[in-house]
Structure 1
Amino acid sequence: WKHGVKDVEMTENPFEPYIESLRQQLEDQDPVFLIGVVVALAVVVITCVFLKYFLTSKTVRSAVLLVGLCDSGKTLLFSRLLSGKYKRTQTSITDSSAPYKAKNDRVSPSLLILFVFFPPKYGNNIEGEYLKSERLAIVFVVDSAIFQKEVRDVAEFLYVLVTDTVISRNVPDLLVACNKQDITMAKSAKLIQQQLEKELNTLRVTRSAALSSQDGSVGDFEFSQLPMKVEFLECSARGSKGEDGDADIESLEKSLAKL
């Protein structure tokens, strides 16, 4: 019996006197005051939750800017990335945007923006609003089938992009999508990269060396000298099986999933 009493005393809650005292003090308070305290605490909690959601969403916000010369296949590529479906297209006259979910469950949705390029501005109509995202990637679409005819125009547009101060400050990933690989005469991504480096090197010389290397050294221009990551890849928005088949854009989708 003595051992039983001792056991009961040891199991008593040591905080019970304090809890009882707190309860008594709360009962003595004005109900209006208590309601005010509860409301204030609720406001603090809701504010914290809202700020956490807002800041989290801001840090993962990203945009993928789809650019390139007219008829390079941007609109069809835009449709394929969003729905996977083939869509008959015509030259776009306005910009378009839509949420894009990369084929990677760990990646939050991005804002895929189809940017309409109007020659001869060479990128001067790129809105700064597009470049304000925390993480920005640019998919530069090239028509591989007629690249040899357009190499100068492609290089000039690309030159404006990589020398733009806002773009350089954001240091985006630049994916050069060598499209229309389903066409027999299409040039390879490696050849397109080599030709563009030659053209950009010429532009660098004629335009006061704006494309300087990171270490300040003088020499032939290479994409590896840029402060942004540049990747050349091959794709076909139309696909090798035509309208009824799937697009050959796996390499592009994989690269977008890594952003």
Structure 2
Amino acid sequence: MDTKTKTRISIKQIIKDLIPDINYQLLFTFILGLVVLYVVFFKLLKTKTSKNVIALLGLCGSGKTQLFYQLCHGIDVLSVTSVKESSHSLSISDSRKVTVYDIPGHDRIRYSLFDKIKSQLKALIFVIDASAIQEEIKDVAEFLYTILCDGSVQGCKPNILIVCNKQDIPFAKGASLIKSSLEKEMNLLRVTKSNQLKSVGTGENNNSFLGYQGQDFEFNQLKSFKISFVDAVASKGEQIDSIKNWLKTI
């Protein structure tokens, strides 16, 4: 009998002497269970801590880039159309930091750029030009509807702030009126999208129907999200305190 064999026998004998009635199969199962629990816990912890992104979304000209620079740099800028997202680390409390992304509003690129970060969403700020909402209501509603239907976004369950910007412009609509107008438009939109899906045979097994069947759409029906509306003036940072206060709560 060689030395290695003697060593293995000795170790096994020592374990038997210490724990004479040990069930090796049960011990192995217990250790394996601990390993699995550790891996699952580590993945959950990693997923939770990785959701530190705030996305700024909105149509071109809504003022989201001005808001981005006010929140992240405290300066006012004249925004220009961009084909690339901007990002900046922002402290929202003494111990918490998030990364804010300003996603370009052009419809040809906004979804592809948003796709890169949507799985890490902690919160979403959707900016609306309150002075042009009557002309843009359909485009705004469709963009917002598409975002809310996204499976990755629904999985993250981000806090959502809808910013009704440019309140300093005459005849700009207030947050309560814009909310009501969006609910009406999105109610029509979901009927259209539902009919389109049925016509191609996809049925109802999708994320494209928001709210409750048989009821007019309301934002409070979306239990996956906590949606708030605020009035704001991003230009020169004149009226963004409500946004800063909201950031502290997410």
Please give the TM-score of this superposition, normalised by the length of structure 2.
0.72
**3-state secondary structure, aligned to 2:143:** helix
Structure 2 counterparts to residues 40-119 of structure 1, below 5 A: 59=49, 61-102=51-92, 104-106=93-95, 108-119=96-107
Distance 1:141 1:127, change over 3 A: closer
Structure 2 counterparts to residues 1-259 of structure 1, below 5 A: 59=49, 61-102=51-92, 104-106=93-95, 108-119=96-107, 124-133=111-120, 135-208=121-194, 210-213=208-211, 216-226=212-222, 227-239=224-236, 246-259=237-250
1:125, distance to aligned residue in structure 2 (A): 1.9
Distance 1:158 1:57, change over 3 A: closer
1:173, distance to aligned residue in structure 2 (A): 1.0
Task: Give the letter for the 2:119 counterpart.
Answer: K
Deviations 1:125-163 (A, max 9, x none): 244330232x52110000001111100000010010000
Deviations 1:86-113 (A, max 9, x none): 12222222111110112x324x110000
Q: Distance in 1 between the 2:210 and 2:69 partners?
A: 36
Residues 163 and 211, structure 1, Cα contact 8 Å, conserved in 2: yes
What are structure 2's unaligned runs of at least 5 residues? 1-41, 196-207
Q: Distance in 1 between the 2:179 and 2:162 partners?
A: 9
Q: Distance in 2 between the 1:174 and 1:58 partners?
A: 18
Q: Distance in 1 between the 2:50 and 2:188 partners?
A: 38
Q: Distance in 1 between the 2:229 and 2:161 partners?
A: 6
Deviations 1:15-56 (A, max 9, x none): xxxxxxxxxxxxxxxxxxxxxxxxxxxxxxxxxxxxx9xx68
Q: Over aligned residues, Cα RMSD in angstroms?
A: 2.2
Residues 94 and 116, structure 1, Cα contact 8 Å, conserved in 2: yes
Residues 75 and 92, structure 1, Cα contact 8 Å, conserved in 2: no
Q: Which residue of 2 aligns with 1:38?
A: none
Q: Distance in 1 between the 2:80 and 2:241 partners?
A: 24
Q: Distance in 2 between the 1:57 and 1:101 partners?
A: 20
What are structure 1's unaligned runs of at least 5 residues? 1-51, 240-245
The size of the alignment, in residue pairs, is 194
Please give the TM-score of this superposition, normalised by the length of structure 1.
0.69
Q: Distance in 1 between the 2:228 and 2:48 partners?
A: 26
**3-state secondary structure, aligned to 1:87:** coil
Structure number with greater Rg is 1
